[in-house]
Amino acid sequence: MKISVIGAGYVGLVTGGCLAVIGHEVAVTDNDAAKLKVLESGGVPIYEPGLDKILAGARKEKRLRFCATTGEATAAGDVIFICVGTPPLPDGAADLSAIDHVARVIATEARSPKLIVEKSTVPARTGQELKRALAAYGRKSGVAFGVASNPEFLREGTAIEDFLHPDRIVVGVEDESAEAQLREIYRPVLERTFRCPVHAPACPAAAAPAWVVTTINSAELIKHASNSFLALKVSYANMVADLAELLGADIEEVVRAVGMDPRIGPHFLRAGLGFGGFCLPKDLQAFVHLAERSGADFSMLKEAEKINKRRIERLVEKMRKALWVVRGKQVGILGLAFKPNTDDIRFAPAMDLVHALVAEGARIRAYDPQAMEKARAILPGIEYAESAYDAAKDSEAVVIATEWEEFRKLDWSKIRDSMAQPLVLDGRNFLSPQEMRSLGFEYHSFGRPA
């Protein structure tokens, strides 16, 4: 099938590359000419494990190409996936201006019927507005447009696996024709008939995903409801962690047992600096805004957001108690990305932490395996280290802000000997308190006994 993808960000590139790998002819475009230039030259403008192999394999099979304009991409596909950004506005609502712009271009450029699929995360009823916009902008052309919703559930760091081996595929449609087209697109995933260059010669065995058909409104709501519930679990774990500290309990023991309940599950029950990234924070805000505009009481989610925002201050408080005076002290920051295995710093807790420590007068030396280039554009006034060891050298405190696996494998005895004083604040409850203290560190984390 001929498919176009509008938007070459984390979602768009993974979607376009994977759709090509499973057998479709895919055209991808973006409004960022510099990004397209990198892609045309064979590069990858973002870090996502396996994405380079996916894109290279798709191009080698001549199933993937990049278009200079949205109009060119519109002509190339019978089905068009919209994967543009929907960032938060000051009031928390999703900014849908990019969706509207894409709708205008598609409607004016299309010369044949198209199925337009929302892949971007959008509030409920966006599909109705999209359909109306397509009709208004394309009223002179007479081209028929179908609209569907196919929310993404891709986790940065495991996005390729999530696309090719999903637990469910949700499609919101208005008619059987749209469902049939989407089912045909995903048939190789549903029937496990594709060859993946990341897992060559064969993909690992996996259960077939559930095929979930809903209305468009429901599909849009599913995405926001899912992400908001995950955010709620993180904030709940952090709320209990604060109580555990006061009572001398261990949050790791608590959430491990709680997560064994199949009604709850262990995922996202993690205490620490809180959730970040471009999905959970903005989707939570957009969901609350949608609820308030509709007259529903979402105060529980508003409190979850407040708890999350307070995590940075909780760590700064721990540093104040340990150092007495933060001003003038050198602090090593390990990790800047919002999670490991990505270079994404959008809404990353580490970035907010650096801002807070700079406001306290600390001198920052930061290191991240993948995210430093992007961080430099946001935090130009701090020092960037060549390695974790370099970040820790002569520091009076080291903060683990992102749980990169390489940080677990560091020679912590070497780090201890290089520091001005051996103080570690583990913002991700990543290391063993017993092991760190046995090495001579003063070690602090969240919800675990001091």
- Compute the Cα dihedral for 72, 73, 78, 84 and give only its sign: negative
Task: Report the distance separating Cα 74 and Cα 66, nearest Å.
Answer: 12
Instruction: Please count the other Cβ atoms lying within 10 Å of the Cβ belonging to residue 299.
Output: 10
What are the structure tokens assigned to 170, written together? 């949700």
Q: Is the peptide bond before 281 cis (omega within 30 degrees of 0)?
A: no
**Alpha helix segments (H runs only) across 138-209:** 159-164, 176-191
Catalytic residue among 18, 67, 83, 279: 279
* Edge-first strand listing for the sheet containing 25-29: 64-67, 25-29, 2-6, 79-82, 114-118, 145-149, 168-172, 210-214
SS3 label, residue 315: helix
Task: Yes or no: say if 297 and 336 are a contact pair by the CB < 8 Å rule.
Answer: no
279: annotated active-site residue:
yes
Q: Rounded to 5 degrees, what are φ and ψ at 426? A: -95, 100
258: CB partners within 8 A, 6+ apart: 264, 269
Task: Yes or no: say if 188 and 22 are a contact pair by the CB < 8 Å rule.
Answer: yes
Please list the active-site residues: 279
